[in-house]
Amino acid sequence: MTWNWQHPDWPHFVWDARQMRAAEAAFLQGAGVALGVAKHLANRDHQEISVEILSGEAVDTSAIEGEILDRGSVQSSIQRHLGLDTDHRRVRPAEAGIAEMMVDLYTHLSDPLTEDTLLQWHRLLMRGRADLTEIGAYRKDGEPMQIVSGAIYAPKVHFEAPPAIRVPEEMKSFLEWFSRTAPSGDTPLPALTRAGIAHLWFESIHPFEDGNGRIGRAIAEKALAQGLNKPAITGIAGPLLRHRKDYYLALEAASRTLDVMEWLLWFADKAIEAQARTLHHIEFIMAKTRLFERLRGQLNPRQEKALRRMFAEGVDGFKGGLSAANYMTITGALSATTTRDLASLVDLGALIKAGERKSTRYHLNLRIN
């Protein structure tokens, strides 16, 4: 016996709920803090943070699979599906598909998870793909579904999923469990526990030819939101991307046993990390609003454009900071004008200057009360 689904007690996972109590309590407390902070956001800021978190989740969950998406295009597509103003840029099928999937997830977080939902998500994710046999349907190929690495002549098998013929029945059991363990179900489970098991169980079945990781993380988001009883995206893909190697190792280890305690503790830690980063996003948007309100009427169009471009980079900002060359590219200003504009932004307290001469860089000053 190699894999969890080959165990005679599959899919009866085991864990010690007592070991999860501290993490579950911390997650609920963090959600309360984020909700309290978010109450101070204006409606437009609520919309902005929703787009930022959804687009970040879409980009990060794709990057985990090695697919690099254009964040601006994903944001534009999300804005359009949410009925917000957009720049109407041309968006590639992959970016449009995952954007629509994220909006569907966000707007139906409290809805039951159904097979139709999963098949629709798969159709959206695989938009534009011509290399797959099954799109919007479970895999049917009789060949083993394996995750492998290494040379083709000596592959290392990290996981092998159940045969395709078993997938429909396996998914039926999974979806019934997801319904029973919801807050309104017969046997509800705490948010982190349910999300962690749901993600692992779905990945263990691996029902689709491709897209299982992205859909599995969306399922985890849905479980977390239902556990909090509010429409919120935790942003779990961000920490999983930053810890991608450990993420794959944790999933591989958990796929070999029905004892999921170690996996749940690892997953809970990353979910709490994601929650903290989401709170940082909210505080970032609030700082942006305060900064522009304080500087109202004091910025020229070039300076405002540059600041908005810096904020558009998100909480991580320009890698290494904004340079004079960046400013000239963004605004089209000449060198002398750039020098004056940047000096003025420092004097106004909008930017913090670091370094000298060619090494000079500018960072957003978000510590202003």
Active-site annotation, residues: 206
Write the DSSP symbol of residue 229.
Answer: T
Residue 272 marked ligand-binding: no
Gyration radius of the chain's alpha carbons: 23
For residue 157, report the phi and psi dihedrals to the nearest 5 degrees. -90, 115
Residue 210 marked ligand-binding: yes
d(CA 158, CA 303): 51
Residue 314 marked ligand-binding: no
d(CA 64, CA 53): 16
User: 112, 179 in Cβ contact below 8 A?
Assistant: yes
| Residue the block writes with tokens 């849905």 | 222
Residue 214 marked ligand-binding: yes
d(CA 90, CA 124): 17
Q: Is the peptide bond before 188 cis (omega within 30 degrees of 0)?
A: no
> In what helix (H) or strand (E) does residue 363 lie, and over which residues does it extend?
strand 361-364
Residue 242 marked ligand-binding: no
User: 55, 75 in Cβ contact below 8 A?
Assistant: yes
Strand 146-149, strand 156-160: pairing: antiparallel
d(CA 303, CA 316): 20
Instruction: Enter the tokens of residue 298.
Output: 């004091």
Residue 216 marked ligand-binding: yes
User: 161, 206 in Cβ contact below 8 A?
Assistant: yes
Centre a 10 Å sphere on the Cβ of residue 133 and count the other Cβ atoms it contains: 9
Residues 6+ apart with CB under 8 A from 293: none
Write the DSSP symbol of residue 228.
Answer: H
Residue 355 marked ligand-binding: no
Residue 244 marked ligand-binding: no
Residue 317 marked ligand-binding: no
User: 93, 128 in Cβ contact below 8 A?
Assistant: yes
Residue 212 marked ligand-binding: yes
Size of the chain in residues: 369
Which residues fall in the annotated binding site for ATP?
Answer: 210-217, 247-248
Which residues fall in the annotated binding site?
Answer: 210-217, 247-248
